[in-house]
Structure 1
């Protein structure tokens, strides 16, 4: 137990605290206590509280705190900021580097500025709701409101952090539940048809997510036939692997006689540092079948690397390399692809949009949805269907034709239409 006040030294301007000579007087200053309790990580944590008018009040509050379990006592003292920073440090060994970087950005840019000063144990749903409402009014680059999907990710990070706080016994309920947030419609990919190309050339405005049609993709592949990364562009456009998966592909993962490629690793770049790890999800570990043309393209690449090195590529050598033999990086692939698209004057698409196009092209060709899900590495076919289905006109035309044939299979309708045609 100790007593201190807010008086300041006339010479330095600093608070005197417990050194003030007037503390012996009744009513001057406030009482504080400091105790140590068991923290969430098993270590002893010093807890200090104050602002009590009398020593008796401070002692009573101290004994009430000591009767609580250690984590609950810590929860009453820690701020949301302190817990979020501790939670991020605990997540460092469990999350992928790119995911951890995303969590850190959300915590430091949104959650700590809005809720960082609140006591963890006093956090309530209405407080979190007001904070999320303020975040929803945030303006981002270009003066646009923050996207609803971003707001959803912010809520998801906060909910995960508070779930862990609840498991640790720091809070009794998760204040991030039952929030009212704007419903953001996921942008669906559309195809660059003549009408959209003409509108883009006239206004400069492009769809949020757009893919090339077959003619655009064929034109691109024909133009980059002599590029040293032609095999990479070919595989992305036809089979749709992620850019990081191709950057991490080794020759040991390529079975040309068996006409298949195994996706087991991917490269991610965080803060300029390259990390090699498993794919985005468990479903990302998969085997992609290859057609004869793809096998021949990869054989050409293998022979070219053998001629350049004077020896056959080793099994652990990367498949896609720069001219100096250094492996390509995902971020460089994105920039290289954007430069090629601009140089060729094609409608703008991202490298990831080639992946969208590959899935949509497979759907238009009649490939079953479950097979497309496997090839894309999606954990659920719902994601595949929501993102890629009925993009190309061929798929839409096939769907309406099948529906009409089902309807016309009814005899009366068929006879009625036949009669109308004769009339």
Structure 2
């Protein structure tokens, strides 16, 4: 059995641990260690654990899993990331995005850092590896001049932000929709989808105009689960303006009438399905895209309709 990367006397000590069996993980392959690491870390959030598991099973283990931890090199990782960047997706045949490769690198680096703390390796080769750089696009305001340029040339920014007027036009056009209050709240107060879907009536004080963000919901293995917000600073109190409080009060009356008409027990969530059960966060996005054509006119070439027909690649960011 071999174990490398140790200076002089430390190598003899480490080799003794392997031979004596004092450390059961000593000599493990990368696949064996990553599975132990992903399953045993109590600090990982549910969504993070699911993401790590997907990266390990789909990307890392089929290529690098057979290599012993102590024999993993920077060259192995660089070759892996180069091949990963050229890999085609099954959905549309395009190559993996630089963001996906970066997240896989983060998973691998975290697992090797855990092995380093455990004393199974002497250094972390993922720190010196060079995955493709991820260039985050800068958001620009979707102004009338930019819209005119897009219509004339077909060139559009990767990320565009609606103006206040465009947002108001969208909200006015969907005022009768069942999810209007959700989109109004997200647009005006900047809640994430998971935070809006996980909002409960007990988290609201509409008389004082307060909204308390204490958790979010996510879909995991087909089930809607509750968990903490994305970051510790996401736990916050949000002040509601009078119009937003009025919209939420009207939404509550409609929800109560809907529950009585369908003879269902309210779940306590602010935004629900027709059966009173909580929403999955991705439903809000799908509903948003579905509503876009109704906000514009085909004959006039409305901006929102045209972008919806292009599968909304401008990715509107609520501000």
2:79 alignment partner in structure 1: 130
Deviation for aligned residue 1:286: 0.5
Equivalent position of 1:70 in the other structure: 22
1:146 Cα offset (Å): 2.8
Tell me, yes or no, if structure 1 residue 297 matches structure 2 residue 229.
no
TM-score, normalised via structure 1 length: 0.62
Which residue in the other structure is 2:268 paired with? 317
User: Which whole-Å CA distance do the structure 2 matches of 1:324 and 1:64 have between them?
Assistant: 63
Asked whether the equivalents of residues 259 and 266 of structure 2 are also in contact (C-alpha less than 8 Å), the reply is no
Residues 350, 275 of structure 1: alpha-carbon distance in 2 compared, 3 angstrom cutoff:
farther
Q: Equivalent residue for 1:100?
A: 49
Instruction: Decide whether aligned partners of structure 1 residues 291 and 101 sit closer, same or farther in structure 2, where only a CA change above 3 A counts.
Output: same
In structure 2, how many angstroms separate the alpha carbons of the residues matched to 1:178 and 1:164? 16
Structure 1's 324 and 67: CA in aligned 2 closer, same or farther, altered over 3 A? closer
Higher strand share: 1
Q: Look up the match of 1:116.
A: 65
Mean CA deviation greater in 296-305 or 134-143: 134-143
Distance 1:157 1:294, change over 3 A: same
Indicate how the Cα distance of structure 1 residues 353 and 279 shifts in structure 2: closer, same or farther if over 3 A, else same. Answer: farther
CA separation in 1, counterparts of 2:29 and 2:168? 57
Query: SS at 1:176's partner residue?
Result: helix
- Change in CA separation of 1:249 and 1:145 when aligned onto 2, cut-off 3 Å: same
Give unmatched runs, 5+ long, in structure 1.
1-48, 50-62, 359-423
User: Does residue 90 in structure 1 map to residue 51 in structure 2?
Assistant: no
Cα distance between partner residues in 2 of 1:203 and 1:100: 43
Distance apart, 1:65 and its partner CA? 6.3
In the TM superposition, what whole-angstrom CA distance separates every residue of 1:273-325 from its partner, at most 9, and x where no partner exists? 21111111111101111111111111212233344456xxx997111123332
Query: 3-state DSSP class of the match of 2:219?
Result: strand
Cα deviation, 1:72-103, whole Å, max 9, x if unaligned, reads x7432x21111112212213x43222212211
Name structure 2 gaps, 5 residues minimum. 2-14, 297-303
Shift of 1:187: 1.4
Q: Which has the higher contact order (CA 8 A, sep 6+)?
A: 2
Q: Which residue of 2 aligns with 1:327?
A: 278
Structure 1 residue 69: Cα displacement: 6.6
The equivalent of 2:202 in structure 1 is 252
Q: Distance in 2 between matches of 1:316 and 1:271?
A: 21
Q: Give the distance between the partners of 1:123 and 1:175, measured in 2 at CA.
A: 7
Q: 1:284 aligns with which of 215, 234, 237?
A: 234
Superposed displacement of residue 66, structure 1: 5.7
- What is the CA-CA distance between 1:177 and the residue it aligns to? 1.2
The corresponding residue for 1:181 is 131
In 1, the alpha carbon distance for the partners of 2:312 and 2:211 equals: 24
1:336 aligns with 2:297: no
Distance 2:294 2:150 in 1: 17
Asked whether 1:224 is paired with 2:185, we answer: no
Pairing 1:378-417 to 2, within 5 Å after superposition: none
Aligned length in residues: 293
